[in-house]
Amino acid sequence: MATKQLTAQGFKDNIYDYTGGQDWHFKGKLPVIIDFDADWCGPCKTVAPVLEELSNDYAGRIEVYKIDTEKEQELSSLFGIQSIPTFLFIPLEGDPMLERGAFGKNVFIEIIETRMLAATNNSSDPAENDKD
């Protein structure tokens, strides 16, 4: 599994239709990381291989998308993106979390495990929780 490009229409179809109302309603079935980036962004290029690794490491547990801020200015404006890279972490339940800056794989893992998968792990199949 690899990171996928996301357009405004794809965002509305798969993540959240921001044209339909003010309340956040996540449409996804897996937690999501969205990377707001641009082709000219050096730090974005540094983080890209880390996101690819995470996409593979957490395949089937999270989805990773990229939004090109140059092409998708409506989405960039909607989230107030003023610097890149900026990451939108969307858990299955609760509000999304916006984080700015390029960080290492260990920071991503911590956020994924503690903020995005913690609720999912706690409410997973009870048979899984019975294993010793």
**Annotated catalytic residue: which of 34, 44, 67, 111?**
44
Strand partners, 87: 35, 99
**Distance (Å, whole) CA 106 – CA 91:** 18
Quick check: is 5 catalytic? no
Quick check: is 41 catalytic? yes
Torsion of CA 65, 87, 83, 66, to 10 degrees: 0
**Annotated catalytic residue: which of 15, 33, 41, 90?**
41
Torsion of CA 83, 41, 33, 68, to 10 degrees: 90
Q: Check if the beta carbon of residue 62 is closer than 8 Å to that of residue 117.
A: yes
Please list the active-site residues: 41, 44
